[in-house]
Structure 1
Amino acid sequence: MADKTDTPPPSPVPETGVADLGLFGKPLFQDPSARALARVGVVDVGSNSVRLVVFDGAARSPAYFYNEKIMCALGAGMAETGHLSPEGRVRALSAMRRFSKLAQGMGLSELTVVATAAVRDASDGRDFCDEVQRETGLKIWVIDGEEEARLSAQGVLLGWPGAFGLVCDIGGSSMELAEISGGRVGKRVTSALGPLKLRDIKGGAKARQAQIKTVIEGLAEKMGAQRDRLFLVGGSWRAIARIDMVRRGYPLHVLHEYRMTPKSVRETVKHIQTSDHEELRKISGVSSSRMALVPFAAEVLSRLVKTFKPKDIAISSYGIREGMLYEQMPQRLRDRDPLIEACRFAEAKDARTPGFGKALFDFILPLYKSAPPQRKRLVKAACLLHDVSWRAHPDYRAEVCFDNATRANLGGLKHSERIYLGLALLHRYSNKRENTRFEDLYEMVDEKTRLEAEILGKAMRFGAMLWMNPEEERGHLRWFPKKKLLELWLTDDMMPLFGEVAEARLNSLALSLGAEVQLKTCKK
């Protein structure tokens, strides 16, 4: 039996202090404590799969430098034998040898490796860990169920800072629940409701469902009422979400932040139970090994939703591996907005004039003085990203911008917000959005939102013509929404920049606003 007292090593960059929460304050990704997170390698030895992820975690929203998964099924047959699957051990050891070599090739000084339910419960779990260390030099930290729940919940917080609700992480051999509120992890519990274990229960569907009901009701007694959002973490949940997407004809195939209602969960579970699983697997793109576990996970999800009655359900692509990265982040980086920090990082890396995003935001801000904070946040993100795709071919630049915004690996961004951001960046380079391959996605937001995104894009399109030096202020906008009047104030030395193309772009912005334009001069 593996030693359950093992815990991962402490954070190499612990730090406390007041967070600099200002959007355009000092970029933390250049701070030494943040740069220490570049190329962070973690390995998750699970009951079903073994996965290596190498993060570039210097920005608050991590980039996946490398990601590889091997389906080993270490926990297969454990209910009967009590030890790890012999075939799974061979596959897992081979994977660890490969991952160790890859880490050396990437120049990683170390990998943090954690193992969960299968290794901690197996009679030969410790022997497996010793074998891996002998063969590869990698030490496996065997974590207990509550620690697994905590790390998974931290992964959710990486993408949803300040989120509140119930995190449910399902693996091959276990299922964990953790409460999150105000950016912190609260109560947490673990159970044996993993699909690999459920598959081995004797007595068929009736016995299995009775077991699921009993365990989840017991978990509910320990956790108390949890009527907020249910965050789902784990491959089986993501597979169910893919099937839900296909059933609904959902156009944006991004799993992170995908939302389901309790009703849609019930309908999708029924769809899984009544459909041919091979056909379902093909049309949803789920692997054969994952599809074999989906029916058992679906039964758990059905009972989970029925018992806890969440207001809505969100899929999180971030889990235990991202939680391990979050563990190493200094607190002031944790406190940052993942969307804004990722956009700032992209601007610093790819824009022609890094820092111009702030000048552009300041210039168009008069159009958004009465906008709610959540909308201003998206305006800030758009301004930071407005120039990062400049290397794309001019004929396709607008589409590249939309594609990047809607499909990029960004945390803290709802699907509807992805569409808004994508449309705004599309209009940064194009007055029109018709006749693109994305038109089915436009329908995910209403006409009012589409117009607001168009206005933002056209404001950036015009504003980008007036500055090259982000530190130099030469003019400003004034917006009078009741009068439908847009004033452009320019200094005398800025007037030469206001040529025919700039004037046409300003008039296009005014047309979308339904406004009259007045040009005025001001002192520098």
Structure 2
Amino acid sequence: MSTALAQRSSPTPQTPPAGSAKGGGAPAAHQMAKAAAVRPRAGWQNRKSYAAIDLGTNNCRLLIARPSADGFVVVDAFSRIVRLGEGLAGTGRISDAAIERAIAALTICAEKLKRRHVTLARSVATEACRRASNGNDFIERVYRETGIALDIITAQEEARLAVLGCHALLEPGDGPALIFDIGGGSTELVLVDTSTETPRILDWQSAPWGVVSLTESEIFDPESPSERLLAYDRMRTRVKDAFQALASRLPRDADDIRLLGTSGTVTTLASIHLELPRYDRQAIDGLIVPAEAMRGISSRLAAMSIAERRQLPCIGNERADLVVAGCAILECILDIWPAKSLGVADRGIREGILRGLMDRDGSAR
């Protein structure tokens, strides 16, 4: 399957929802990529503000930016863990508590959109709303109470936006690259050809396991390290089975393969690798980490109790119960795509949305 990144729908931002369908260190090139997530057309002096909201199964994230000569300048940002998909696997519905958390976060986003005089925005919702039987009802309530029109995007569109937002951080090379996004309710894997300026999607898969859904598949915190590792192995087996479809189609004789991840899992593990006392985006975005180092950190975290993980910088209370599921997913990705190193991106869907909005608006001008 081949999909050009330029092929996309043209959403009407912030219009009422109507029947939304479910559907090591960085080299110099990476340091340059950190400065700009998107490059507007030459001579474009548009100073309007653009916004992207990504409501995932675990996080609500907002990014507001203005185009600049070498990319875009972020003027405001917001991120909050809302756990929209909490309990979804068991009930098939978004819970009342999760809805309230999400609306509280989106209310803050709406205030920021107004304060920053945003003229063009796109807001998307992903796996939790795709799965939930009350997903459309939730979207309609969000619009009534906040004025934010969430678009429930397909898994394919989610993968496309993630690639569009972070592909600039891929290590230089001629071989194929696998870009992945470990979310709260699903994981997107995208095989891309980078022989052209804009990567071309060769193949992709959305697996129904993310850090929230996989964590909830193991309903207890075992007392001993050996029991915890057994639970970890069970999670890896579930993910391995889900990845089989794409794994069977990946090229086996390719040289110079590259791997790039965008998610809280990879940024958290990269922070542990660098032994950071607190999270630092400038140190993480564009970092290249040996794959074996990430495997070692994953195994170590899997043997720890939740209480022990809470004591680690860059994990804390919010990620202590979810990070092991992310480690299981990451190790399965390394199994099917055995790259020697892993690129880490603290960017993705929001940056992909902003690039699309700015490109489209520039074309209109």
Whether the TM-score (by the shorter chain) exceeds 0.5 is: yes
* 1:231-310 equivalence runs, <5 A: 231-246=260-275, 254-275=283-304, 277-310=306-339
More helix by share: 1
Could you say if the C-alpha distance between residues 48 and 252 of structure 1 is closer, same or farther in structure 2, counting changes exceeding 3 Å?
A: closer
Determine the structure 1 residue equivalent to 2:17.
Answer: none
1:466-481 aligned within 5 A: none
Partner of 1:35: 46
Kept in 1: contact 2:63–2:76 (CA 8 A):
yes
SS in structure 2 opposite 1:289?
helix
What is aligned with 1:177?
189
Q: Distance in 2 between matches of 1:175 and 1:259?
A: 21
The correspondence of residues 468-507 of structure 1 with structure 2, limited to 5 A, is none
SS of aligned partner of 2:80: strand
Give the whole-Å Cα distance in 1 for the aligned partners of 2:200 and 2:89.
31
1-structure distance, mates of 2:250, 2:76: 36
Q: Could you tell me how far apart the structure 2 residues matched to 1:215 and 1:252 are? A: 31
Unpaired runs of at least 5, structure 2: 1-7, 14-38, 220-230
Q: CA deviation at 1:161?
A: 9.9
Q: Describe the superposition over 1:280-337 as per-residue Cα deviations: whole angstroms up to 9, x where unpaired.
A: 4444222422222111111111121122111321001120111111223449x9xxxx
Whether the aligned pair in 2 keeps the contact of 1:243 and 1:280 (CA below 8 Å) is no
Given that residues 159 and 318 in structure 1 are in contact (C-alpha distance below 8 angstroms), is that contact kept between their aligned partners in structure 2? no
1:117-156, aligned counterparts within 5 Å? 117-156=127-166
1:219 matched to 2:229? The reply is no
Q: What is aligned with 2:207?
A: 191
How far does residue 98 in structure 1 lie from its aligned partner after superposition? Answer: 2.1
Deviation at 1:218, TM superposition (A): 2.5
Give the structure 2 partner of residue 371 of structure 1. none
What's the CA shift string for 1:366-420, capped at 9, x where partnerless?
xxxxxxxxxxxxxxxxxxxxxxxxxxxxxxxxxxxxxxxxxxxxxxxxxxxxxxx
List gaps (5 residues or longer) in structure 1. Answer: 1-5, 12-26, 334-524
Separation in 1, partners of 2:101, 2:319: 17
Superposed displacement of residue 224, structure 1 = 4.0
Could you state the TM-score of these two structures normalised by the residue count of structure 1?
A: 0.54
From the two aligned structures, give the one with the greater strand fraction: 2
Cα distance, 1:53 vs structure 2: 0.8
Confirm or deny that 1:9 pairs with 2:20: no
Cα pair 1:246 1:283 within 8 Å, conserved: no
**Counterparts of 1:122 and 1:28, CA distance in 2:** 37
Q: CA deviation at 1:119?
A: 0.8
- Asked whether the equivalents of residues 201 and 207 of structure 1 are also in contact (C-alpha less than 8 Å), the reply is no
Quick one: distance in 2 between partners of 1:126 and 1:328?
24
Partner of 2:26: none
Sequence identity of aligned pairs in percent?
23
Deviation of 1:95 after TM superposition, in Å, equals 1.7
Count of aligned pairs between the two proteins: 308
What's 2:343 paired with?
314
**Which amino acid counterpart does residue 323 of structure 1 have in structure 2?**
G
- Rate the CA distance shift 1:195–1:283 in 2: closer, same or farther, 3 A: closer
- What displacement does 1:120 show? 1.1
Contact 2:65 2:75 survives alignment (8 Å)? yes
Aligned partner of 1:178: which letter?
Answer: V
1:106 corresponds to 2:108 = no
- State the distance in 1 between where 2:71 and 2:88 align: 37
Asked whether the 8 Å contact 1:8–1:114 carries over to 2, the reply is no
Corresponding residue SS for 1:216: helix
What is the rounded CA distance, in whole Å, between the counterparts of 2:316 and 2:70 in structure 1?
A: 31
Shift of the alpha carbon at 1:110?
4.0
Please give the secondary structure, in 1, of the residue aligned with 2:133. coil
Supply the distance in 2 between the matched residues of 1:255 and 1:177 (Cα, whole angstroms).
21
* Distance in structure 1 (CA, Å) of the matches to 2:326 and 2:218: 17
1:57 match: secondary structure:
strand
CA contact (8 A) 2:120 2:357 kept: no
One-letter amino acid matched to 1:198: L
TM-score (norm 2): 0.76
CA gap 1:56/1:241 in 2 versus in 1, 3 angstroms: same
Structure 2 CA distance for partners of 1:7 and 1:134, relative to 1, 3 Å: farther
For residues 258 and 94 of structure 2, what CA distance do their matches in structure 1 show?
Answer: 35
Between the aligned partners of 1:58 and 1:158, the Cα distance in structure 2 is 17
